[in-house]
Amino acid sequence: MKLYEYIIRRLILMIFVLFGISVLVFYLARGFPSAMDPVAPYITSRMTSEQIAEVRRIHGFDRPLYEQYVFWLRDVFRGDWGLTGIWAQGRPVLEVFFLSFPYTVQLSIAATILTVGIGLPLGIISAVRNNKIPDHISRIIALTGYSTPSYWFGFILQLVFFYYFTLWGLPHLPSTGASGMEGAVARVTGMPVLDGIIGGNIAYTVDALAHLVLPAFSLSFISLGFLARIVRASMLDVLRQDYIILARSKGLKERVVIYRHALKNGLIPAVTLTGLFFAGLLGGAIITEFVFALPGVGQLSIQAVMQGDSNFILLYTLVLATIIVTANLIVDIAYVFLDPRIKY
Amino acid sequence: MKKAKREVRTGEWSARWADFKYTIFLLRKNPLVMLGSILSIFFIILALTANYIVDPNLAGPRGYPDNSYPFERRYQWSANSPINWGPGVSLYRGPDVLFLGTDGWGRDMLKMIILSIPVDIENAVIIVLAAASFGTLLGALAGYVGGVLDEAVLRVTDIFFAFPGLVLALVFAALLGRSIPTLRLAILLVWWPPYVRLMRGQILGEKEKAYVEALRALGAGHLRILFRHIIPNAIYPILVQATLDFGGVILTFSALMFLGFSPTPSLPELGNLAADGYQHIFEAPWLIVFPGLTMLIIALAFNLVGDGLRDVLDPRLRR
């Protein structure tokens, strides 16, 4: 199979997956009795019950679910994703979502950088000093990472780095929110750090970065453990190969063997997995945004779920699913370029 | 004839037993795995005996049986308060020292944590067992039968893999209602697909091996080959995954509880206990610190065991 054939096959599968998700979520979000009535955002207090029935008929909310799904799909292809419930003042779903989405992206990028920056060295140390003290320490850090309740860890970080540091008179980090200088620069991308750089306001950028440190670390703490374990496993695999034994036996220094020879092949899974981590962190940001009161889509999605707002949940899950599936595809293609032994 | 058959069987079981003993030997060499095992066993014993150590009625809506607790003072934290709610201080009219302070309802935090351990561990056991057995069965069938069934199962798991797991669990939980069985169902629904993939991959590797062909030549049926021979040979990665998932399930379950899906606000459950405290994190940090710490230790204990198992059972790393 040629590469482009493979990509086309995967894209067709992707459409199938997105279709499946939309059907599943649609039936879940509209079908259960506790779900929000989709007609709610269209109603004002002055409307008569006949008018409400008319609105219901126009939008097809009085029809069976499968017909409603077709209506919804038709509207989506026209670019109309519907309205949110009262919790977001009945504004269009697209507007509500994409006002907050850049912030979640910024948080996930920061967390991905931390994941790779800490997880990679941990994994390498663990593999090189296999079953020695450094391996045990790195193993404890990695396992603690994915044994930690993420909401709890966020609060502990706030408690220590904001509250106690303030009490002790140390320079402290802000606890909640995305920025302490709201409105100081014009909104361009919606990511506070990037907006500060574009607006040329250094104080704003620094402040936004300070607000980002604790949430990003809290979010990355789980995934960096996973990454460290994956890097360790793949490095151990590579270190047992014949060409490493050859490199050692021809008298190369251990440092050269590891960093020049082993690392190149050992890091292939880690490099490709970074894309998956980014996609996973976008979904994992829900709890972090809740804990740190951040203006991202995760925070909104909790509200939407609690209110049974099917339109918002559908958009949220479909956007995240698209990103996850695309990241998977990119990872698989990246393998081919990074590792010439793999063919499709 | 009958005798010969029995001999074959004992031979097989003694081989499995020797393998098991060797695994235990390898595990015992790793101090972290030992620590994890001891902690896991401790928590399991605690979960089984918690209701005998602490009177479960204490978790009831009125807390202490004789109403000696000032319930109306709940959430009135202040530095000048005549009552110190923090750890290690004895409450007025209360006979016992509260080693970990009180929870949001004025109950003894230590006792509530002990009472909540069986709830969390029971849930994790049920969810992991259900997810692993369902996923394993489906994956084994898909891998063994192949063809249309395989393709269909794979596409369904694709859909679940593309979801952010927590979001799906949240949606399920919100729509199914707030009770422990529905929360279990919600987590189960997002937890089975990895087992399908894992088992299917294993089966695809196993079913091409010579012993399967030999069995077929001997006239063994498909069910016998699959359940009696292939699955036992392919089960180790599933065991490792299940051990590692144990901690993850506890964390996910308590996260749902923390986000407000508890059936009753006073239910002693680690996430629910922590949820009582997050608005008072700076005035009363022990409300959230201790339940979270307990959760961390439980999850860490099982993850240490799972991680050690993975190293030991991996044929490439096994020496």
Inter-chain touch A320–B163, beta carbons under 8 Å? yes
Instruction: Find all residues with CB under 8 Å of B97, minimum gap 6, and list them.
Output: B88, B89, B90
| Rounded distance between C-alpha atoms, residue B7 and residue B5, angstroms | 5
Could you tell me where the DSSP H helices lie in A260-296?
263-266, 268-291
Calculate helix-pair angle for B109-145, B286-313, nearest 10 degrees. 30
First to last CA, chain A: 6
DSSP 8-state assignment for residue B280: G
| Rounded distance between C-alpha atoms, residue A136 and residue A318, angstroms | 41
Name residue A323's amino acid: I
Q: Which residue has the higher pLDDT, B92 or A262?
A: A262
Model pLDDT, residue B127 = 94
Q: Which pair of tokens denotes residue B270?
A: 């680690």
| Rounded distance between C-alpha atoms, residue B267 and residue B58, angstroms | 11
Paired residues of B63 in beta bridges: none
| Rounded distance between C-alpha atoms, residue B200 and residue B226, angstroms | 12
Could you tell me where the DSSP H helices lie in A78-179?
93-128, 133-147, 150-157, 165-167
Q: How far is B98 from chain A (nearest CA, A)?
A: 22
Q: Can you tell me the ipTM of this complex? A: 0.84
| Rounded distance between C-alpha atoms, residue B252 and residue A253, angstroms | 46
Model pLDDT, residue B97 = 62
| Rounded distance between C-alpha atoms, residue A246 and residue A261, angstroms | 11
Check pLDDT > 70 for residue A141: yes
Check pLDDT > 70 for residue A1: no
| Rounded distance between C-alpha atoms, residue A300 and residue A319, angstroms | 14
B174 CB within 8 Å of a chain A CB: yes
Q: Which residue has the higher pLDDT, A82 or B127?
A: B127
* CA of residue B7 relative to chain centroid, distance: 39
Strand extents, DSSP E, chain A: none
A144 CB within 8 Å of a chain B CB: yes
Q: How far is A208 from chain B (nearest CA, A)?
A: 23
Q: Which pair of tokens denotes residue A94?
A: 């697209």
Q: Closest-CA residue in chain A for B186?
A: A28
pLDDT tens readout for residues A171-213: 878 877 777 777 777 777 878 888 888 888 888 888 888 889 9
| Rounded distance between C-alpha atoms, residue A308 and residue A41, angstroms | 13
Cβ atoms of residues A58 and A13 within 8 Å: no
Cβ atoms of residues A52 and B187 within 8 Å: no
Model pLDDT, residue B316 = 59
Model pLDDT, residue B158 = 84
| Mean residue pLDDT across chain A | 84
Model pLDDT, residue A178 = 75
Model pLDDT, residue A168 = 86
Taking contacts as CB-CB distances below 8 angstroms, the residues of chain A near B282 are: 159, 163
| Rounded distance between C-alpha atoms, residue B40 and residue B246, angstroms | 11
| Rounded distance between C-alpha atoms, residue A152 and residue B276, angstroms | 12
Residue B108 phi/psi, 5-degree rounding, is -65, 120
Give residue for tokens 């990511």: A191
pLDDT tens readout for residues A144-181: 988 999 889 999 998 888 888 888 888 878 877 777 77
First to last CA, chain B: 38
Q: Out of A31-40, A210-219, B199-208, pick the least confident.
A: A31-40
| Rounded distance between C-alpha atoms, residue B231 and residue B133, angstroms | 12
Closest by CA to B287, choosing from B130, B42, B90, B112, is B112
Taking contacts as CB-CB distances below 8 angstroms, the residues of chain B near A313 are: 171
Does the predicted model carry a pTM greater than 0.95?
A: no
The number of beta carbons lying within 10 Å of the beta carbon of residue B73 is 13
Q: How far is A8 from chain B (nearest CA, A)?
A: 16
Among A240, A290, A305, beta carbon nearest to B171: A305
Check pLDDT > 90 for residue A55: no
Calculate helix-pair angle for B180-191, B165-176, nearest 10 degrees. 150
State the number of CA atoms in the 13 A half-sphere of A338 facing the CB. 17
Can you tell me whether residue A189 is helix, strand or coil? coil
Residue A91 phi/psi, 5-degree rounding, is -75, 165
Model pLDDT, residue B4 = 52
Mean pLDDT of successive 10-residue stretches along chain B, which has 319 residues: 52 76 80 89 92 78 44 42 50 58 73 89 94 93 89 87 80 80 88 90 85 88 87 85 90 88 82 81 81 93 88 66
Residues 272-291 of B with CB under 8 A from A: 274, 278, 281-282, 285, 288-289, 291
| Rounded distance between C-alpha atoms, residue B269 and residue B120, angstroms | 7
| Rounded distance between C-alpha atoms, residue A26 and residue A186, angstroms | 37
Closest by CA to B63, choosing from B74, B50, B53, is B74
B247 CB within 8 Å of a chain A CB: yes
Calculate helix-pair angle for B109-145, B31-53, nearest 10 degrees. 120
Name residue A179's amino acid: S
Strand extents, DSSP E, B164-244: none
Model pLDDT, residue B93 = 46
Model pLDDT, residue B9 = 56
A97 CB within 8 Å of a chain B CB: no
Name residue A249's amino acid: S
Cβ atoms of residues B274 and B291 within 8 Å: yes
B83 CB within 8 Å of a chain A CB: no
A122 CB within 8 Å of a chain B CB: no
In the predicted model, what is the mean pLDDT of residues A87-107? 87
